[in-house]
Amino acid sequence: MNVGVLIIGMGNLSGAGGAERFYADLFEAYNSQVNPKRKLFYISDDLSPLRKINKLKSFPENQLTFTSYHYRLFHRITKNRPRIDKWMNNFRAYLTMKSLIKQLKRQNVTMLQLPVYEDKDFYLLKALDDLPLIERPKLILNVTNAVVQNHYFDDNPRYAYHSKLNYGRLFENVKLDGVYTWYAAFKKFTEKEKVIKSNPIIHNVATRFTSTEFHEDFTNRENKIIYSGRLSEYKDPMLFVKAAEEVYKRIPNNGWKFEMYGKGGLEKEVKDYIEHHQLDNFLSLNFSPDMPSVLKKSKIYVSTQNVENFPSLAMAEAMACCNVIVARNVGQTNLYVKHNINGFLIETGNPEELADKLLDIINKPNSFIETMGKESISLLKNVHNKENFIKEIDEFWDTIKNNKE
């Protein structure tokens, strides 16, 4: 049974697209095995965004494209005419499905895993689900959205992407054969609330890996503390800003710099606060599509996410670059951050608590910081590595394959 990673309608991935990037890394790692259990294909209507960021460099024969008609065939005319558009969406999905199925049959792909889902994809998945059993591929949703369980029943439009408005039609009308989720909280939520009608096999991961090259050299490190990630409500960038401010209130001119990397809805708020409180002599907001080049020179990485930190790609990059990790103790963060070993877990979203911990670290000798940073690399080498992740996902795919329901 061959498996296809299916992503529909990729956007610009420069500095974004954690799921798309990770699965491109898995695609290469999986197919590079000496004796892989199956072939893994990367499938999309457009693979160019990944190639533009230097992904999908190997195994071109396992890279499949199909024609998507979602924004074609009179879409501009029908999109504001709901009754006509519903019929046309079904027709467009049928044509798209035929193009996709042609590729699946050619390569004997009988299982599809979707790392990214939006409601616009519903018609295509419904068309696949309605195929005769002999043609229908197994359908697996990979939940990479950390806050679905927090907002599924929320009718506030600002949370629409995380809620039933986005996932409802899929969960209620398409038979999902499996759900592969990064988050134990999502598995617990779905099993309790029974929101997925098909009652699929649900597995939350225990391992992850990063393709970031390990960098243990500490000779050219600078006294820098890094934040990287989307500037959004759940990432809570203002906690980092206010903690940096608190550090400099207590010990002015301490020689450490705080650097933030990211874009998002809170960008103006962050910039305005830095300017209004005159923090720009020690705190900066930047953007980089190549965070490892930044993290190779830093010593401490801070994650202020208030829901989940595992399996953050940004955090894994910092770990691979030998940074001490300081993070909120939420979700399964302890799978990445071992308290007092490779980093520290803080219990609140209080800037004073974060400042306390950062001051404690920066007052330690450089050898202490280096030793803890190397423990981050050790955790990636021995636990969160390619071999363990591939073993885990292979076992899940075997379970889906052998399930007779």
The residue among 405 and 35 whose pLDDT is bigger is 35
Please report the domains of the chain, with CATH numbers, ordered by start residue: 2-209+385-402 (3.40.50.2000), 224-382 (3.40.50.2000)
Contacts 24+ apart (CB under 8 A), 26-34: 26/389, 26/390, 26/393, 27/56, 27/59, 27/62, 28/56, 28/57, 28/58, 28/59, 28/211, 29/209, 29/211, 29/386, 29/390, 30/390, 31/58, 31/59, 31/62, 32/58, 33/390
> pLDDT digit string (tens) for 337-348?
999 999 999 999
Instruction: Give percent of the chain with pLDDT exceeding 70.
Output: 94
Q: Which residue has the tokens 């309790």?
A: 192
Report residue 83's pLDDT band, with 50, 70 and 90 as the boundaries.
Answer: low
Residue type, 306: N
Helix, coil or strand: residue 216: coil
Local structure of residue 311 (DSSP, 8 states): T
Average confidence (pLDDT) over 96-125? 94
> If you average pLDDT over residues 305-315, what whole number do you get?
92
Q: DSSP state, 339?
A: B
Mean pLDDT of the chain: 93
- Min mean pLDDT across 75-79, 172-176, 360-364, 372-376 is at 75-79
Identify the pLDDT of residue 210.
93
Overall average pLDDT of the 45-67 stretch: 94
Q: What is the pLDDT of residue 13?
A: 78
| Banded pLDDT at 11 (limits 50, 70, 90) | confident
The predicted pLDDT at position 96 comes to 86
SS3 assignment, position 166: helix
CA distance 41 to 397: 14
If one compares 111 and 74, the residue with the highest pLDDT of the two is 111
If one compares 313 and 64, the residue with the highest pLDDT of the two is 64
Which residue has 């054969």 as its token pair? 177
What is the DSSP code (8-state) at residue 286?
E
- The pTM of the full predicted model, rounded to 2 decimals, is 0.90
Question: What tokens were used for 171?
Answer: 């969960």
- What's the whole-number mean pLDDT along residues 228-253? 94
